[in-house]
Amino acid sequence: MKKGFLTLVLVALLAGGLGTVPSPARATGFVVNSDSDDNMAHDKNPGDGQCASWFDECTLRAAIEEANAHAGADTITFQSAMYIILDQTEGALPALTDYTVIDASSVWDSANDQPGVTLHGGGMNDSGLTIQQKDCEVYGLFIINFGDAILVKSSNNTIGGPNTGQRNVLSSNTGSGVFLLGSSAMSNTVQYNYIGLSASGESKAPNRWGVYISEGASANTIQYNWLSGNTESGVNILFSSSRQNEISANYIGLAKDNTTPLGNGTHGVAIVSAAETRVQSNLIAHNGWCGIVFNQAPSTYILDNAIHDNGKGGIWIFDSSDAAIYFNAIYGNQEDGVMIDGASALRNEISANSIYGNGGKGIALKDGGNASLAAPTITSANSSGASGTVAAGVRSVEIYSDSADEGKTHHKRCSVNTITNQWTCSTAITGPNVTALAFDVDGNTSEFSTPYSLGHKVFLPLVLRNR
């Protein structure tokens, strides 16, 4: 009887719609309206679809907790500009564990062209934001005084963007501006940010490193950023498992005006053991040591960069093989423009670059680098071409003009007669000096040849007669 009565009641309730249990509201957006961060700043009921701390405010901490509690994408925005100082007792903000966009672009400080929302770590060693879920986005934040500003352990995330208010400023942290860590950190994009600069982009506010890529993080793109003023490198890539990362179209060592020197303390880009890194179309200047340095990092591609006025070299290669260095302008560096060092540093091709005005050699081969391939000899040259000889095994030469002994203007690449080891290259030459590079069958490139002056002439002695 009791069972039948309950069944009738249930049927009646369902028929009237009174028995439907409401599902939690699907959250699509939370608006942070408080800069508070203390033990009352947590969300009081994560998963109810409402961002509400114990004081019924929406704090950033509560918004992240609520977003994590909901499946699906959520967006966190800000009601107004604010300065959030994290409570040291509460520690780091929760990691992003669900698809989340944190977007402060709507409260951008347009008058000063800088973020309106500051996230201050108070010197804690934790990260300002930790991203553990894929497909997250972060826009318009000024993140300072943490260990790392942003730690990424997942894929397909976007840090910064091209639109008004989407630039992040990631500075004054004891670790990195962005740390891409582990094999799950793949296909992330870090773009249009100031990393190591003040919010204005006009002075240094150093992290230790700008962007740090390590322990298998691969296929990430670092583009259109200002990576300057950091204590060590602008970009640091480590471990053989970290592959196919791309560093492109960044300003590395310069202020936002792209002219004022604000170099990183050591290198612009440093690569250790990582393979198949592409460094392309960057301006890399005024760094304390080298523009680009790589050690035991095979198949590195360095294309179409301007690398100048660095404290030591332009590009230094240690025990690395199969690099392609094409179409770069490498000038005004204090030591060698390109240096290849070590008996295992082989098959590194340096072609069609503009290399000039460096304090050392344009290209230097040391300790067996590039098999110590001998430079060509130029036996004759004029404004219409040049000719000369090469060592056995050389397949081609390139002709350059320079005011000294490097290669500022690339003219042409010509084949070598591999039977006679002689070459002739017909091309317009501007001079005043002509230099040449040799390329062997294995893919090694030589140093520049001894320069040959286009003004090379034979002068007859002047004979005076008494009249």
DSSP 153-212: -SSS-EE--SSTT---EEES-SSEEEEEESTT-BS-EEES-EESB-TTSSSB---SEEEE
- The encoded tokens of residue 355 equal 């290399």
Residue 10 confidence (pLDDT) above 50: no
Q: How does DSSP assign 393-455, residue by residue?
A: TEEEEEEEEESSSSBSEEEEEEE-BTTTTEEEEE-----SEEEEEEEETTS-B-PPPPPEETT
Could you tell me which residue, 96 or 3, shows the higher pLDDT? 96
State phi, psi for 293 to the nearest 5 degrees: -135, 135
pLDDT, the chain, mean: 93
pLDDT at 456: 65
**Mean pLDDT in residue range 383-412:** 98
pLDDT at 12: 36
- The one-character DSSP state at 126 is S
**Mean pLDDT in residue range 217-242:** 99
- The encoded tokens of residue 23 equal 């599902």
pLDDT at 282: 99
Residue 467 confidence (pLDDT) above 80: no
pLDDT at 146: 99
Could you tell me which residue, 415 or 27, shows the higher pLDDT? 415
pLDDT at 416: 99
pLDDT at 242: 98
**Mean pLDDT in residue range 190-216:** 99
Residue 7 confidence (pLDDT) above 80: no
For residue range 38-76, list pLDDT tens digits in order.
999 999 999 999 999 999 999 999 999 999 999 999 999
Distances (CA, A) of 328 to 75, 287, 409: 42, 17, 11
- For the chain, which domains are there? 379-456 (2.60.40)
Could you tell me which residue, 2 or 427, shows the higher pLDDT? 427
Residue 97 confidence (pLDDT) above 60: yes
For residue range 289-344, list pLDDT tens digits in order.
999 999 999 999 999 999 999 999 999 999 999 999 999 999 999 999 999 999 99
C-alpha to C-alpha distance for 79 and 58, rounded to whole angstroms: 10
pLDDT at 28: 73
Residue 20 confidence (pLDDT) above 80: no
**Mean pLDDT in residue range 339-350:** 99
User: What percentage of the chain carries pLDDT values higher than 90?
Assistant: 91
For residue 411, the one-letter residue type is H
pLDDT at 455: 81
Distances (CA, A) of 400 to 105, 417, 426: 49, 20, 12
For residue 66, the one-letter residue type is E
Element (H, E) at 3: helix 2-15
- The encoded tokens of residue 170 equal 């990631």
pLDDT at 417: 98
- The one-character DSSP state at 371 is G
Distances (CA, A) of 372 to 170, 177, 307, 448: 43, 40, 24, 12
pLDDT band at residue 19 under the 50/70/90 scheme: very low
